[in-house]
Structure 1
Amino acid sequence: MRLSGSAAGLQQLQQDHESGARKLAAVALSILRTTLEHLEDPISLNGPWWRKTCLAAWHLWKNGRPSMDAAIVSFLLLTLSEISTVLSQEIGSGTCKELCIQNAFDNIQHMIRSYTTRISQNLASHILSKDENSKTKRNRFTILALSCSSTIRECIVQSALASGAPLINIHVLESRPLFEGVSMAASIVSRFEALPIPRPQVRVTIFTDASVAQAAMEVDLLLLGADRIAADGSVSNKTGSLPAALMVHHMEPAAETIVVSEIYKVATEPSNQHNVENNEASEVMNAWKQNDKVKGLDIVQDRLESDDAGHGQATVNVQNVYFEWVPPSLINTYICENGLKTPEDFQRQAQWVSEQCEVYFGIC
């Protein structure tokens, strides 16, 4: 069965290497919404319209972006649940049904947009609570972060303000190969400069990924996002997250490593069953090509692995893995949109996802 717009929508999800899991989930909802607008079947839970709706959602989940499918499937399931609830009621004309379906999509999208504020406020409350218990006034507060995320940026701002420190040091890893850390640093500066005076003095330092040990020195807080969360509390995030967590754990054991994420990024599979996303080598090599001091690039390019490589000839493989897992042993705290969470909460969420998949995708 071919659904209008589904192929283009899947390609959009597959080729977006900049957006985070939540934004991709919002994109998936928009694609599903557009797909439903092109269905010509009568809107009903008992006919082909509903089967096609669930099938379109299933394809977006399974064939969109596997490394970020936890958030995608959770928000698709929430949307299907809301649509199912609405259509189970006595609704008159097809136009009324269409309006109710549009409202269902709007409600979920509004919920997604609320998460940055809710999560950052919960983090600020957590920082305030810890400081009240310690009764120690901070002279400075140092945060380590990586990649580029509006949620992480807002969490940095709110935790910095909650610390009450007059000096805020923010260490940002450059996050190769796309150097999202540079964009993150600029975004942080702009966000702090938009705050009313008086405001703390802010010093942002960008570190190369290789110098993560220096970046971890004297930090009070490591902030990590999550593209997916396993039921045991392991977190998949931008490559560089594991070295950062290891360095903070080893060098600054008093520091706190906090994962900030909505709970709808919990996946049903354990971390060792998730696919590794290895992206285009060209993203890594582009930086080499722009630096005339890199020697031997022509040999590397000539020896890149390929199916027709000659026998006995040395080959070169360029890895560009976007995500890696951080085990729960390196994470102190999980903060979600509705407060602090534990691996037990994630296990319950994973069970919910499994049950909902059976309800809505069992017919596909």
Structure 2
Amino acid sequence: MNGDGQADYCVVNIQSGRVDVWYNQGPVSKSWGSQTPAGMLWWNSTTQKNAPVASGVTYLEKWTAGDMVTFGDLNGDGRDEYLYVGKVDSNYTSGARQLASTALSSLSQLLGYAALTCQNRVELWDETRRIAKELVAARPSMSAAINSCLIRALSSIDETWRNHQKEEKERGEGVKEVGVKGLVDLAQARIDQIMRERKEVTSKLGAVFMDYITSFQEPRSQADTNSPLHILTLSNSSTIRTALLTLSQTHPSIPLEITVMESRPRCEGADMCAQILRFLDSKAKEKWRFKITPDCAIGTAAKDTDILLLGADRISSEGRVSNKIGSAAAAICVRHCHQQHQQQHQHQSDSHSKGKVVILSESDKIVAEGVEDRKTENHPAEEMSKAWSEETRKVLEDAGVEVFGEWFEWVGWESVDVYVTERGVLDREGVKRVAEEIEGLERRVFGGGTGWYDLGE
């Protein structure tokens, strides 16, 4: 910790992440005093200076902040730095898109450290790819969006560096003039631009969703202008939340009845409903009605559903969708109710279709073939058991009763009608084409080639 080449003893406070250090002063013998055994002499910063080497971090999950602290010599000065690495792997409140943006921001910051340690452009590119892989691995269940986002970013950085290198050659200047720091500056500038472009994707997706809803609603309006469009959704998808708020601003007159599943154990559905109402257009408040329903009532909630609106944390190349638990049950129930509705009205001229299962997602959630399944993400039993009585919790814990902790599940492609993305409304073939595109980019970035700098020098 102090650069003397000897390992020091660190104590990390599990709640705050505060760090106290006992500095290694080297070996001592019995002659130091009768109460001091032979061994190592440790000097504690707190007892002698009354100040820790790091005061800790402020974090929502205070009881786990210490788990997010680690150490490493980032700038090569022989002293370890204090690192807090909880932004991606410990964030269970943000959606996949938000985590992808966080990962992109982290990539930019870590490239700044890489500029201090990498000696040449080859090392920098290898380090850039290594950082990206680590960020993707941080949240397995949401790695699709993070992976696609970072792969596209690295491909764009690759292109930026190539163009700069060609321009330098055309001017007759050596490509080494820019140096590692200059390359990092170019990469960080490109990442900043990508972050701005990602905001435009949200607008495009909102526009496609708006067109889909209006086309769905038009025949209904002709049949019954007072009949609201029934939308069922769950969890707290930032994509769904933003799309609905955009719709409230552009078409507030469309009558909607939105049922949101509570989405236990963290009740994200209720959170999403509150967040939408907080920013909902005033005109839409007159036409829109909201209902919170317990997860166990999905069979009842599905009966009147026109559209089941699901987000996605991952979409396989064949069209399967990984999303929050409860999604598969919702899709199955809505499908069943839809089939019953068709059977009951098969001899009637039904002017509109009910029970559509719609996936609302950025195309970044689509993964290449063969990488659909990742490590299962399990949460602590306390996520569920904290709602139980103390007596019930104790009896079940003593009996060793297993508490289900998986947070994500797959919805089969046969249960999905369409995929609404910023690229338009896709069917399974459209999803497959996007998967092939991301597979090609992944091979280019991680496929074993030396990358952007391999230009025959």
Q: TM-score range by the shorter chain?
A: 0.7 to 0.9
Could you tell me how far apart the structure 2 residues matched to 1:3 and 1:230 are?
A: 39
Could you tell me how far apart the structure 1 residues matched to 2:87 and 2:303 are?
A: 40
Structure 1 residue 345 and structure 2 residue 445: aligned? Answer: no
One of 105, 122, 126 as aligned partner of 1:51: 126
CA RMSD of aligned residues (A): 2.8
Secondary structure at the residue paired with 1:340?
Answer: strand
Deviates more, 1:18-27 or 1:3-12: 3-12
Contact 1:67 1:275 in 2 (8 A): yes
Residue ranges of structure 2 left out of the alignment (5+ in a row): 1-71, 76-80, 169-176, 340-353, 451-457
One of 301, 306, 313 as aligned partner of 1:215: 301
Could you tell me how far apart the structure 2 residues matched to 1:228 and 1:143 are?
A: 22
Could you tell me how far apart the structure 2 residues matched to 1:7 and 1:57 are?
A: 21
Structure 1 residue 117 and structure 2 residue 191: aligned? Answer: no
Structure 1 residue 30 and structure 2 residue 105: aligned? Answer: yes
TM superposition shift of 1:347: 1.9
Secondary structure at the residue paired with 2:388?
Answer: helix
Structure 1 residue 325 and structure 2 residue 410: aligned? Answer: yes
Report the CA distance shift for 1:200/1:166 in structure 2 as closer, same or farther (over 3 A).
farther
TM superposition shift of 1:255: 2.2
Report the CA distance shift for 1:154/1:273 in structure 2 as closer, same or farther (over 3 A).
closer
- The structure with higher relative contact order (CA 8 Å, sep 6+) is 1
Structure 1 residue 264 and structure 2 residue 364: aligned? Answer: yes
Deviates more, 1:137-146 or 1:20-29: 137-146
Contact 1:75 1:108 in 2 (8 A): no
Structure 1 residue 206 and structure 2 residue 292: aligned? Answer: yes
Report the CA distance shift for 1:233/1:43 in structure 2 as closer, same or farther (over 3 A).
farther
TM superposition shift of 1:156: 3.0
Report the CA distance shift for 1:4/1:35 in structure 2 as closer, same or farther (over 3 A).
farther
Secondary structure at the residue paired with 2:157?
Answer: helix
Could you tell me how far apart the structure 2 residues matched to 1:198 and 1:327 are?
A: 34
Deviates more, 1:199-208 or 1:32-41: 199-208
Could you tell me how far apart the structure 2 residues matched to 1:214 and 1:350 are?
A: 36
Q: Which string of whole-angstrom CA distances, capped at 9 and with x for unpartnered residues, describes residues 235-265 of structure 1?
A: 1111011111111111244222110101111
Secondary structure at the residue paired with 2:289?
Answer: strand
One of 93, 97, 115 as aligned partner of 1:18: 93
Contact 1:232 1:270 in 2 (8 A): no
Could you tell me how far apart the structure 1 residues matched to 2:262 and 2:283 are?
A: 29
Deviates more, 1:236-245 or 1:125-134: 125-134
Q: Which string of whole-angstrom CA distances, capped at 9 and with x for unpartnered residues, describes residues 77-135 of structure 1?
A: 11111111111123563465444222211122123223332212211111222344564
Structure 1 residue 229 and structure 2 residue 315: aligned? Answer: yes
Could you tell me how far apart the structure 2 residues matched to 1:87 and 1:43 are?
A: 17
TM superposition shift of 1:337: 0.8
Could you tell me how far apart the structure 2 residues matched to 1:232 and 1:143 are?
A: 26
Report the CA distance shift for 1:352/1:243 in structure 2 as closer, same or farther (over 3 A).
same
Q: What is the aligned partner in structure 2 of residue 154 from structure 1?
A: 242
Could you tell me how far apart the structure 2 residues matched to 1:42 and 1:111 are?
A: 29
Could you tell me how far apart the structure 1 residues matched to 2:138 and 2:283 are?
A: 45
Secondary structure at the residue paired with 2:87?
Answer: helix
Residue ranges of structure 1 left out of the alignment (5+ in a row): 305-315
Structure 1 residue 288 and structure 2 residue 388: aligned? Answer: yes
TM superposition shift of 1:276: 2.4
The two structures have a TM-score, normalised by structure 2, of 0.69
AA matched with 1:72: I
Structure 1 residue 277 and structure 2 residue 363: aligned? Answer: no
Report the CA distance shift for 1:191/1:161 in structure 2 as closer, same or farther (over 3 A).
same
Report the CA distance shift for 1:43/1:79 in structure 2 as closer, same or farther (over 3 A).
farther
TM superposition shift of 1:13: 1.9
Contact 1:168 1:201 in 2 (8 A): yes
Bigger CA radius of gyration: 2
One of 271, 274, 283 as aligned partner of 1:183: 271
Structure 1 residue 300 and structure 2 residue 396: aligned? Answer: yes
Q: What is the aligned partner in structure 2 of residue 66 from structure 1?
A: 140
Q: Which string of whole-angstrom CA distances, capped at 9 and with x for unpartnered residues, describes residues 10-68 of structure 1?
A: 643221111111111111111111111012256864x211111111112222x211111
Identity %: 31
Contact 1:131 1:163 in 2 (8 A): no
Q: What is the aligned partner in structure 1 of residue 443 from structure 2?
A: 358
AA matched with 2:413: P
Contact 1:125 1:162 in 2 (8 A): no
The two structures have a TM-score, normalised by structure 1, of 0.85
Contact 1:71 1:264 in 2 (8 A): yes
TM superposition shift of 1:164: 7.2
Deviates more, 1:354-363 or 1:224-233: 354-363
Deviates more, 1:183-192 or 1:197-206: 197-206
AA matched with 1:151: T
Report the CA distance shift for 1:167/1:353 in structure 2 as closer, same or farther (over 3 A).
closer
AA matched with 1:136: A
Could you tell me how far apart the structure 2 residues matched to 1:209 and 1:7 are?
A: 42
Deviates more, 1:127-136 or 1:178-187: 127-136
Could you tell me how far apart the structure 2 residues matched to 1:60 and 1:161 are?
A: 36
Could you tell me how far apart the structure 2 residues matched to 1:120 and 1:7 are?
A: 41
Number of residue equivalences: 344
Could you tell me how far apart the structure 1 residues matched to 2:361 and 2:321 are?
A: 10
AA matched with 1:189: L
